[in-house]
Chains A and B, each alone.
Chain A
Amino acid sequence: MELIIETEALTKRYGKKTVVNELDMKVPQGSVYGFLGPNGAGKSTTLKMLLGLIHPAQGRIRIFKQTLNPKNRLEILKNAGSLIESPSYYGHLTGRENLEIVCTLKGAPKEEIDQALALVRMENQQHKKAGHYSLGMKQRLGLAAALLGRPRLLLLDEPTNGLDPAGIQEIRDLIVSLPKKTGITVLISSHLLSEIDQMATHVGIIDQGQLIFQDSLRALHAHSRCRLHIRTTDNAAARTCLAQKGIAAAEKNGQIILEDASDSSVTRAIRLLVYAGVGILRAEAPQVSLEDIFLRLTGKKVSL
């Protein structure tokens, strides 16, 4: 698996407060990497360090297999587009003129402006002043600017913040389509788990500056391994019976909770209980949601 971004022990401190703590991030090529965490977890700070906007206290950043330093920063970032926090725009200029500035600075051909505008579906609003745009249109303009120069990497910091539901869906669809259309790798931060769940192929969860989970979204879902909840006529007898046979079980809210909910384990446990004369009233395996996993990992309630 080729990595587009790789950080080693990346740390940022403001005074005595450590905002990002020894972060080892690995973003595979062609992925949509969801960088998830509660507000104030250190997501924006990490993205700003990746772009060289703020300097790490320690650690190393490798982008496109090159170690980022002040000398090669702009050369490396030539292949990256970014949208950090609120959109950047010149309100007195039209959308097209805004893109002209980025195009000029990137040294990209002017024809790319039309392509970027088409990609974010803003052809009809390109001659309106950016100051008159809605927040959604400003975000799309920011995204178009990030796409100029045909970058291989896109860093997006909470791009759906402040958008209405239709705008959110539009931006999400656009982001999901980018790797397929252009082969671009997307690193997107969000505090919305559902958003990452809909877009990402890989996930990194940051909390209080520390990366507490990092893997594919599939692996995160695998964490939602379900447990079997059994309601019986005699919980005490059921627990004794299961314990005698070495099956891990606990009692919670008047139910027996079976830790291992694999088919073989369930068959064995049910058979044992029936033979022991314990009446089974109900057996269910509620799916553990991603929210529960997030809560378990961060100890914080997640925004939905």
Chain B
Amino acid sequence: MIRQLRAEQIKARRRRVWAVTAALGLLLCLWGAFNYRHADVSDLAQGYSGLFYQLPLFNTILLPLGLAVIASRLCDWEIKGNTLKLLCTLQKKERLYDCKLLMGFKHLFLIACMETTGILAAGARFHFTEKLKIRLLALHFMTLLAAGAFVYLLQQTLSLLWENQLAPLVVGLIGSFAGLFSLYFPKEISRLVPWSYFCQFTPILMDWNRETRQQRFYPTEFPTALFLGFLAATVGVYIIGKLLFVRKED
């Protein structure tokens, strides 16, 4: 496995996948921080809660396409270079799938780290008066990874199965819109859209007062059962995706 991961590292040279990851992380941080330029006392008093509410929304918009780009950049060289039939004489197809997944998860992990660091940096830069709840930060980090892993799995499988790399990117783009707009629908419907899960586990809800035009963020119970069900679905997608890739004859 180490040898195969090393081979993946060599393949990634000159592809600037890191640049995509860095750009995504930076964009998410800047977007999150942008809202606090002219924050008042009330905003700063619920600064972290506001971020924990808004960032999942930004993730829903940016990450489906962003992860589709990363998956495509990590897989398209195999399709373009017609290398799968060579690789399959050198390594197990299952291993290749897993190595690519680990490479992708590394980037997802980095995005999650950047976003988490961004939350802490925003708190320090704008002097949030709200006390940071480590539990909420950890939940945000964990749910971002979980939802990202599902979307990345889907994108990687499509990128490895489809010759035309534009198609998985279109799926990613559709995912961004579908994830966002599904949130306007009842939960029973929105939960059927995998890209919406960046928001489904948010530990914070918002109450918007029309008259005072004030927003109030308040914590909600973490949907543990839903989260566990989602993790099980992720494992299911992993098994099916890998099986489809392994069964594909080159």
Partners in one complex: yes
Q: Give A residues with C-beta under 8 Å from B.
A: 48, 51-55, 74, 77, 80, 82, 84-93, 97, 100-102, 104-107, 130, 142, 145
- The docked-state distance in angstroms from the alpha carbon of A285 to that of B89 is 50
- Which one of B20-28, B74-82, B159-167, B172-180 is at the interface? B74-82
Could you say which residues of chain B place their CB within 8 Å of the CB of A92?
13-15, 77
B3 touches A105 (CB 8 A): yes
The answer for the CA separation of A97 and B11 in the assembled complex, in Å, is: 8
Residues of B within 8 A of A100 (CB): 10
Return 28 A-B CB contacts under 8 Å, by A number.
Answer: A48-B85, A48-B249, A51-B85, A52-B88, A53-B88, A53-B89, A74-B89, A74-B90, A74-B92, A80-B89, A82-B86, A88-B83, A88-B87, A91-B77, A92-B13, A92-B14, A92-B15, A92-B77, A93-B11, A93-B13, A93-B14, A101-B10, A102-B86, A102-B90, A104-B7, A104-B10, A105-B90, A130-B81
CB distance from B75 to the nearest CB of A (A): 12
Asked if B106 lies at the interface with its beta carbon under 8 angstroms from chain A, I say: no
Residue of A nearest to B83 (CB): A88
Give bound CA distance, A145 to B87, whole Å.
11
Q: Is B117 in the interface zone, CB < 8 Å from A?
A: no
Residue of A53, A102, A107, A145 touching B250 (CB-CB under 8 A): A53
Q: How far is the CA of A262 from the CA of B92 in the complex (A)?
A: 58
Tell me, yes or no, whether B54 is within 8 Å of chain A by CB. no
Given contacts A74-B91, A93-B13, contact A107 B3 (CB under 8 A): yes
Which residues of chain B have C-beta atoms less than 8 A from A80's C-beta? 89
Contacting residues, chain B, for A90 (C-beta < 8 A): 11, 77, 81, 83
Among the listed B3, B85, B90, which residue makes an inter-chain contact with A85, where contact means beta carbons less than 8 Å apart?
Answer: B85
Residues 1-33 of B at the A interface (beta carbon under 8 Å)? 3-4, 6-7, 10-11, 13-15
Partner of B89, one of A51, A93, A107, A142: A51
In the complex, which of the residues B7, B13, B85, B91 contacts A53, with contact meaning CB atoms closer than 8 Å? B85
Tell me the bound Cα distance from A101 to B85 in angstroms: 14
Q: Which residues of chain B come closer than 8 Å to A107, judged between CB atoms?
A: 3
| Min distance, Cβ B145 to any Cβ of chain A, angstroms | 29
The residue of chain A having its C-beta at the shortest distance from the C-beta of B6 within the complex is A104
- Residues of chain B with a CB closer than 8 A to A130's CB: 81
Quick check: A86 and B82 within 8 Å, CB to CB?
Answer: yes
The reply to whether B83 and A54 form a contact with Cβ atoms under 8 Å apart is no
C-alpha gap A74/B92 in the complex (Å):
8
How far, in Å, is B11 (CB) from chain A's closest CB?
A: 6
Task: List B76-118 residues whose CB lies under 8 Å from chain A.
Answer: 77, 80-83, 85-92
Q: Which residue of A lies closest to B77 (CB)?
A: A90
| Shortest Cβ distance from A77 into B: residue | B89
> How far in angstroms is the closest Cβ of chain B from A210?
22
A48-B248 Cα distance, complex, nearest whole Å: 13
Contact, CB under 8 Å: A91 / B7: no
Closest to B90 in A: A105
Q: Are B86 and A145 in contact (CB under 8 A)?
A: yes
| Chain A proximity of B48: nearest CB distance (Å) | 42
* A105, B11: Cβ atoms closer than 8 Å: no
Known A53-B89, A74-B91, A80-B89; contact A101-B7, beta-carbon cutoff 8 A: yes
Contacts of A104 in B (CB 8 A): 3, 6-7, 10
Complex CA gap A82/B86 in Å reads: 7
Closest chain A CB from B5 CB (angstroms): 10
Residue among A52, A88, A89, A97 with max Cβ neighbours from chain B (10 Å): A88
Alpha-carbon gap, A88 to B83, bound state (A)? 5
B95 to chain A, nearest CB (A): 10
| B7, B82, B90, B250: the one within 8 Å of A87 (CB) | B82
B81 partner, pick from A52, A85, A88, beta carbons under 8 A? A88
Min distance, Cβ B92 to any Cβ of chain A, angstroms? 7
A106-B77 in contact (CB<8A): no
> Would you call B80 and A105 a contact (CB within 8 A)?
no
B13 touches A88 (CB 8 A): no
Output the least CB separation between B27 and chain A (Å): 25
| Residues of chain B with a CB closer than 8 A to A51's CB | 85, 88-89
Residue in contact with B249 in the complex, picked from A54, A86, A101, A145, CB distance below 8 Å: A54
Query: In the complex the two chains form, what is the Cα distance from A51 to B84 in whole Å?
Result: 13
**Bound state CA distance, A279 and B11, in angstroms?**
78
Min Cβ gap A274→B in Å is 65
A88 touches B85 (CB 8 A): yes
Find chain A residues with CB under 8 A from B250 CB: 48, 53-54
Tell me which of B3, B7, B88, B89 has the highest count of chain A C-beta atoms within 10 A of its own C-beta. B89
